[in-house]
């Protein structure tokens, strides 16, 4: 069942990615992938640092949500291909903007997810202490 859940949530993540790409049309700049990857970084941190700490959520569900859904929603291969395509077109400024935004935006978004998870866990602990 473990693999079935991961595969099922992986399919949902991939479909969300595909539909977001169809919905966000931005010629000249790969905005869809950038948004997907930055949003996914925040979501994965919430899954792994908050939901995984809750006692009533099973390990299978965490792997299905984290590795399955968010892991398949975000993508590195499309990012790499889009970056090299911008470089091949000699759009160096756009390429630098895309790579830089993914590099810094992804890190900040993930770090923000860690921070929010910690806040929520503290709030839970305080509530249980009283």
- Which stretches of the chain bind other proteins, using CB under 8 A? 3, 6-7, 9-11, 13-15, 17-19, 21, 37, 40-41, 43-45, 48, 63, 67-68, 70-81, 83-84, 87-88, 99, 102-103, 106-107, 109-111, 114
Q: Is 71 annotated as a binding residue?
A: yes
Q: How far is the CB of 127 from other proteins (least distance, A)?
A: 25
Q: How many CB atoms lie within 10 A of CB 52?
A: 16
Q: Which is nearer to other proteins, 44 or 128 (CB)?
A: 44
DSSP 11-80: HHHHHHHHHHHHH---TTS-HHHHHHHHHHHHHHHHHHHTGGGSTTS-HHHHHIIIIIIIHHHS-SHHHH
**Closer residue to other proteins, CB minimum distance, 3 or 92:** 3
Q: Which residues are annotated as a binding site for Na(+)?
A: 71, 74
């Amino acid at each position: 069942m473990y693999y079935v859940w991961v595969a099922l949530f992986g399919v949902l993540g991939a479909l969300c990615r595909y539909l977001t790409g169809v919905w966000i049309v931005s010629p000249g700049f790969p905005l869809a992938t950038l948004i997907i990857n930055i949003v996914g970084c925040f979501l994965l941190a919430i899954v792994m640092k908050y939901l995984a700490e809750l006692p009533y959520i099973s390990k299978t569900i965490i792997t299905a949500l984290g590795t399955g859904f968010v892991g398949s929603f975000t993508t590195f291969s499309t990012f790499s291909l889009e970056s090299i395509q911008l470089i091949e077109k000699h759009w160096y400024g756009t390429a630098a903007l895309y790579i830089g935004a993914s590099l810094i935006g992804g890190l900040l978004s993930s770090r923000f997810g860690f921070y929010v998870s910690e806040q929520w866990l503290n709030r839970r602990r305080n509530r249980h202490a009283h």
